[in-house]
Amino acid sequence: MLRRCISAEWMKLRHSHIWVILIILPVISVLIGSANFYMNQGVLKREWYSLWSQVGLFYGEFFFPILIAILCAYMWRLEHFNKNWNMIMASPVSATGIFLAKFIVVGVMLLFVQILFFILYFLGGKLAGLTSNLPGELTGWLFRGWIAALAISALQLALSMRIRSFAVPIGIGLCSAFIGLGMYVANLGMFFPHSLLAIGMGVLSQTGISARESILFIVMNMLYIFVIAAGAIYSMSKADVRV
Amino acid sequence: MRAISLELYKLRHKRLFLMAMLFFTVEIVWIFMAVNVSISRNSDYAGWEMLIAIISSMNGLFLPILAAICVSRICDMEHKGNTMKLLLTASARRSSLYAAKYITASIIMLVVCFLQGIAIIAFGIANGFEQPVPLNLLTRFLIGTVLTNMTIIAVQQWISMSVKNQVFALTLGMIGGFIGMAADLFPFEVRRFFVWSYYTGLSPVTQSYTSEKIQFMIQDMNSLLPAMVILVVAGIGIYLTGSIHVSRQEV
């Protein structure tokens, strides 16, 4: 059943042009980050690490969380139209199937965004004339960034499911990105999904995280995903639809 | 007037003002924390100029996104409810509807700007800034911010009304926020073409880095006038083009 739900979600996205947004946002962050790096190479001397600090800061702190919020709001957009909530709840699929299908589809698209971001980062570095090897931590940054993005996706999907407006969950997402930055600065980063993204992607500090922190990072993300998804599925099964 | 009051009536349960207040609170708390850190590191910075300069640059990030959200909310309710046909059969003119939505969004953004002005004064007094409240600078700051907001609202409304899918309007808002934040990195010849860069472009205080120190300089009003005129003309042009384009679209 889950497979059919997933294929239905893909079908709904077919003519949405959402791919334009998935491509355009990483391109802009890498373009501006790389241009800033290129113009300030006199100060930014740590090659790939400095480039990561420039492209990753804009991308990880602002663009990626809002991209996730837009994507998640889009996933529920059709359900909020007309009487579609009644139709989807009356269809012979479980609430778990509906939510998980959306979560998986968002996860796949975010993986694509992360891979695209890596390719653009690599190209940006080569065009800026970097000749040294790529940082060893790069795979970890990208993978942990994806894991944290999944936790944020669960939160945004739950918000967009409950809030009919397309724009409001995105606004909440942006505010959360700033709260996350504040919590990261206050060393409380492990307790907020948006700060976990900053920690995972190493956008503010490129020093790698210890094995203990890595485990805590994964556990916290899984906890967020599980608790938020369970809450959203429970709410979908119990609460009456609002049309 | 009636169309505007009806737009506000339609928004009464939308919690749009709450959303705007949430944005305003997050932005202002963020700015005041940053200013406090700067003052604690160097007490020379404790002045109105730094406060206004930092708020202008943070507005470049926050206000385009807030404008996108407000405009999208105001326009999307007609798309979602498919109410445009109803309104037009009730003899409402499309241009009046367009204008009413524009003015409603501008009112919300104006409230946010005024609250910013009050917050600046309150913060300065609470932190014991030595100079008196610079009403001239604050007025110029508000004029610049409001003019930029109004032009951005015109851009956003055009997209939100003409394209049903609000994903594009919000993405534009986000890109605008990013350009607004990074505007000072671009050369003047490039940034003057981006409406989002005018939050800092029309700010009465600019900042520059010389010998690793930040310096705040007050801009002469006369030097800002050409940019203001360009922005107003662009805003009127975008608004009229948007209004005519949307009026001619099939419902």
Q: Chain A contacts of B65, Cβ < 8 Å?
A: 66, 171, 174
Q: Count the Cβ atoms, other than its own, within 10 Å of residue A87.
A: 11
In a domain, A149, yes or no: yes
Domain boundaries, chain B: 2-246
Task: Give residue A142's domain range.
Answer: 2-238
C-alpha–C-alpha distance, residues A7 and A5, integer Å: 5
pLDDT digits over A63-120, tens only?
899 899 999 999 998 888 878 888 888 888 899 999 999 999 999 999 999 999 999 9
Q: Do B22 and A171 touch (CB under 8 A)?
A: yes
Q: Chain A contacts of B68, Cβ < 8 Å?
A: 167
Average pLDDT over residues B133-142: 90
Q: Which has the higher per-residue pLDDT, A232 or A33? A: A232
In a domain, A164, yes or no: yes
For the cut 70, the answer to whether the pLDDT of residue A131 exceeds it is yes
Number of domains forming the structure of chain A: 1
Q: Do B66 and A182 touch (CB under 8 A)?
A: no
Q: Do A28 and B175 touch (CB under 8 A)?
A: yes
Q: Which has the higher per-residue pLDDT, A37 or A234? A: A234
Please tell me the predicted confidence (pLDDT) of residue B103. 95
B167 interface with A at CB cutoff 8 Å: yes
In a domain, A155, yes or no: yes
In a domain, A110, yes or no: yes
In a domain, A115, yes or no: yes
- Give the pLDDT band (50/70/90) at residue A134: confident
In a domain, A243, yes or no: no
Do residues B148 and B202 lie in contact, with contact meaning Cβ atoms separated by under 8 Å?
Answer: yes
Q: Is the ipTM of this complex over 0.85?
A: no
In degrees, rounded to 5, the angle at the alpha carbon of residue B109 between the alpha carbons of residues B52 and B155 is 105
Please tell me the predicted confidence (pLDDT) of residue A209. 75
B143 interface with A at CB cutoff 8 Å: no
Shortest CA distance to A199 belongs to which of A129, A152, A131? Answer: A152
C-alpha–C-alpha distance, residues A191 and B181, integer Å: 27
Average pLDDT over residues A205-230: 87
Q: What is the mean pLDDT of chain A?
A: 88
In degrees, rounded to 5, the angle at the alpha carbon of residue A224 between the alpha carbons of residues A219 and A229 is 130
Shortest CA distance to B160 belongs to which of A62, A162, A82, A167? Answer: A167
B65 interface with A at CB cutoff 8 Å: yes
Q: Do A62 and B72 touch (CB under 8 A)?
A: no
3-state secondary structure of A95: helix
